[in-house]
Amino acid sequence: MDLSNLTNTPGARERRKRVGRGTGSGMGKTSTRGHKGQNARKGHKQKLGFEGGQMPLVRRLPKRGFNNARFNAKALGVNLSSLEKFFDAGAEITVESLAAKGFSDNKRPKIKVLAVGNLTKKFTVKVPCSAAAKAKIEAAGGTVA
């Protein structure tokens, strides 16, 4: 790096647009707002896609296709470190036992055990697990049903 490589950051030498500072500035009188009308008034704010009362383009076009996002419920991840912390050794881990401990909510009924953290206790897990979580549970002497 030397002085020949130094440049300004983009936009550093561009001056701010100052409107309403006289006719000589080129942005005086109407301050770039045009003449009269709704758009020239202060406080003007239209809804996105508003077309002056005309039926908006979004509503003129037909709905097409299917989007699964509404029905595709993501699984709620539960880490092994959390199971280690909140459950006693030999516990049976089910959807109901996790809900009783406050892990799941009604918004996401699917639950999946993830392999984050270490496990020293034996558990009987009756919830879907990742492959790495299953390996860690079985290495600790537990079972995955």
Percent of the chain beyond pLDDT 70?
97
* Fold type of domain 70-144: Ribosomal Protein L15; Chain: K; domain 2 (3.100.10)
Per-residue pLDDT, averaged over 110-117, amounts to: 90
- At 22-43, the pLDDT tens digits run 999 999 999 999 999 888 998 8
- Hey, how many other C-beta atoms are within 10 angstroms of the C-beta on 113? 26
The Cα 135–Cα 140 span in angstroms is 9
Please, where are the H alpha helices in 51-127?
57-60, 80-86, 95-100
Please, are residues 108 and 95 in contact by the beta-carbon 8 Å criterion? Answer: no
Whole-angstrom CA distances from 44 to 12, 38, 41, 91 are 31, 7, 6, 63
Mean pLDDT value across the chain: 89
What 3-state class would DSSP assign to 98? helix
pLDDT digits (tens, 9 = 90+) for 103-112: 877 666 788 9
Tell me: the pLDDT tens digits for 40-61? 998 888 889 999 899 999 999 9
User: What pLDDT is attached to residue 67?
Assistant: 87
Is 80 exceeded by the pLDDT of residue 122?
A: yes
Does residue 130 contact residue 116 with C-beta atoms inside 8 Å? no
| Segment 67-86, tens digit of pLDDT | 888 788 788 899 999 999 99
Q: Is residue 1 predicted with pLDDT exceeding 80?
A: no
Q: Report percent pLDDT > 90 for the chain.
A: 57
Q: How far apart are CA 128 and CA 93, in angstroms?
A: 11
The token duo for 144 is 């995955």
What integer pLDDT is reported at residue 126 of this predicted model? 92
Domain boundaries, the chain: 70-144
